């Protein structure tokens, strides 16, 4: 694996390219490994989703971990992920 794959909730977008990541300094990745979060760590993020036919088609994105400084409703989260220029897309977008 080139970088950890971490579950997020894309409904918790702080900005167009910023999603809340974790309240804690460690997060379990998709393979069950513990990842210690730190500023600048490059990660993949994903969230379960389905396509129009009701089949599993997760949303995915790549980005960089940063400390959450957004304030307001986001203060419960310590870490966020800045999504790269490729944005958030469905996994099937890579398989066509």
pTM for the model stands at 0.91
pLDDT digits (tens, 9 = 90+) for 40-95: 999 999 999 999 999 999 999 999 999 999 999 999 999 999 999 999 999 998 76
The owner of tokens 């220029």 is: 85
pLDDT band at 1; cut points 50, 70, 90:
very low
pLDDT digits (tens, 9 = 90+) for 42-51: 999 999 999 9
Instruction: Indicate the SS3 state at residue 7.
Output: strand
**Strand partners for 64:** 42, 82
67 Cβ contact partners less than 8 Å away, ≥ 6 residues apart = 39, 78, 79, 80
Instruction: Indicate the SS3 state at residue 16.
Output: coil
């Amino acid at each position: 694996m080139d970088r950890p794959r971490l579950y997020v909730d894309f409904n918790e977008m702080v900005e167009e390219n910023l999603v809340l990541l974790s309240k804690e300094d460690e997060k379990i990745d998709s393979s069950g490994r513990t990842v210690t979060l730190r500023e600048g760590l490059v990660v993949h993020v994903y969230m379960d989703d389905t396509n129009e036919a009701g089949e599993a088609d997760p949303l995915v994105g790549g980005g960089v971990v940063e400390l959450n400084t957004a304030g307001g409703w986001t203060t419960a989260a310590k870490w966020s992920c800045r999504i790269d220029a490729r944005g958030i897309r469905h996994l099937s977008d890579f398989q066509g």
